[in-house]
Amino acid sequence: MSYEIIGITVLWIFLYGYLIVASVDFGAGFFAYYAKVTKKDHIINQLISRYLSPVWEVTNVFFVFFFVGIVGFFPDSAYYYGTALLVPGSIAIILLAIRGSFYAFENYGSKQSNVYMFLYGATGLLIPASLSTALTLSEGGFIMEKDGVVSLKYLELFTSPYSWSVVFLAIVSVLFISATFLTFYAARANDTEALKLVRKYALFWATPTIIASLTTFIALGEHNRRHYSNMMDLWWVFGLSVGFFMIALALIYIGRYYGLAFISVMLQFFFAFFGYGASHLPYILDPYITIYEGATHESTGIALIVVFIAGLFLLIPSLIFLMKLFLFDADYVKGKK
C-alpha cells in the first residue's frame, strides 16, 4: 500500500472518530437546551454533564488532529481550502471557541445561565452545518482558481440542493447519534426517567436521518456523476450501513441491548462514511487535488506514519483508561463517585 493511501485512511479514521464523539457532544448540547425549554432539564442535564465534563477536551483534539494531518499529508489542501475557506473557517473557529469555553464557564465556574445554555445548544447545530461545508466543497464546482487567486463561489454554494442536503444530513445525524448514545448511557445509569426521554428522541430522529441520507445520495448524483457512479460500484457497503441502521432501530424499539444498538449506529455511520470516502478517491478536492499529486514528500509521509503508530501506542491505552473511569464505571455513571 502506498503511503498516500495509508495517510488518507488514517485521516479518515480520525475524521470518523470526530464524527462520532463530536456528534454525541453537539447533540447533547442541543438536547440539554431543548430539555430546558420544555422544562425537563432536571431529568437529563445531570446525566449529560457527568459524561461530557471529563471528555470535551478530547473531542476537540480529534478535530485538530484531522486538520493538522490533512495539511501535513497533503499540503496543497492548505493552499486551496485555506484560501477559499477563510470566512466559513473563521466562523467555525469562533463557534467552536464559544462552545468550548462556555462549556467550561458554565460547568465549573458559574451559576446556570440561559444565555450559555442557548449558545451551547445553538452551536451544537451550527458547527456541524458549517464544518460539513468543507465536505461539500470537496466535490468540486464551488472553488475556482483564476490568475493564481483561489475563491469560493458563494452563490453556487448557497443555491445548490446538494450543499443543503449535506447540511440537513449533518444536523439530523448528529441528533440521532447523540440520542442513541444518551439512551445507552441512561440505561447504564439505571436512570429510567432520562432513559424514557432520550429513547423517544432516538426513535424520533431515526426517520429524518435515513431520509436525509437518501436525498443527499440523489443530490450528489446530480452534482458529481463520477463520484456517484463510484458509489454505485460500492453499493454493498451502503447496504451494510442500512442494515445496521435497521438493527439499531429494532433494538431501541424493543427497548433492550442499548449498548449493541449504539454500536450498530457506529457501524451504520462507519460503512456510510468509508463508502463515501473510498468512492471520493483519488480526489481530495475535485479536480484540483488528488492524493497522489497533492501528497507531501515521501520522507515526510513516512515520518508522519511512524509518529502516528507510536502515538497510537500511547493514546489507545490512555483512552481505554479514560473510558474505564468515566464510561464503564457503573458507580461513576450512576453518580455515586
Partner 1 sequence: MMEMDPVLMSRLLTALTLGFHIIFATLGVGVPLMISIAEFIGIKKKDPHYLMLARRWARGFVITVAIGVVTGTAIGLQLSLLWPNFMQIAGNVISLPLFMEVFAFFFEAIFLGIYLYTWDRFKKPYTHWFLSLPVIIGGGLSAVFITTVNAFMNTPEGFTTGANGFATINPIDAMLNPATPTKVFHVLSSAYVTVAAILATIAAFSLLKKKTSEYHKKALKLTVTLTFIFALLTALAGDFSAKFLAEHQPEKLAAAEWHFETEEGADLILFGWLNDDNVPAGVIRLPGLLSFLAHGDFTSEVTGLEEFPEEERPPLWIHYMFDLMVAIGMFLAAVSLLYIIISKVKKWNEHNKWLLRLLVLMGPLAMLAIEFGWIFAEEGRQPWILRGYMTVEEAATSSPHVGLMFILFLGLYTVLGVLCVVILRRMFRNSPVEEELEKKYPAIEKGDNK
List residues binding partner 1 (CB under 8 A). Answer: 53-55, 57-58, 60-61, 63-65, 67-69, 71-73, 75-76, 78-83, 85-87, 89-94, 96-98, 100-101, 103-105, 108-110, 148-151, 296-297, 299-300, 303-304, 307-308, 311, 314-315, 318-319, 321-322, 325-326, 337
CB of 273 to partner 1, least distance (A): 21
CB of 162 to partner 1, least distance (A): 24
Give whichever of 101 and 207 is closer to partner 1, judged by the CB atom. Answer: 101
Scored b (16 or more CB within 10 A) or e, 45-77 reads: bebbebbbeebbeebbebbebbbebbbbbbebb
CB of 196 to partner 1, least distance (A): 27
Please tell me the distance from the alpha carbon of residue 336 to that of residue 19, in angstroms, as a whole number. 30
Q: Which helix (H) or strand (E) holds 289?
A: strand 289-290
Give whichever of 119 and 249 is closer to partner 1, judged by the CB atom. Answer: 119
3-state helix, strand, coil in the chain (%, to 5): 80, 5, 15
Give whichever of 151 and 229 is closer to partner 1, judged by the CB atom. Answer: 151
CB of 11 to partner 1, least distance (A): 11
DSSP state of 295: -
Please tell me the distance from the alpha carbon of residue 309 to that of residue 327, in angstroms, as a whole number. 25
CB of 107 to partner 1, least distance (A): 9
Give whichever of 255 and 335 is closer to partner 1, judged by the CB atom. Answer: 335
Give whichever of 60 and 215 is closer to partner 1, judged by the CB atom. Answer: 60
Give whichever of 214 and 322 is closer to partner 1, judged by the CB atom. Answer: 322
Residue type, 140: G
DSSP state of 1: -
Backbone dihedral region for residue 190 (phi beyond 0: left; psi -120 to 50: alpha; all else: beta) = left
CB of 96 to partner 1, least distance (A): 6
Three-class secondary structure of residue 150 per DSSP: strand
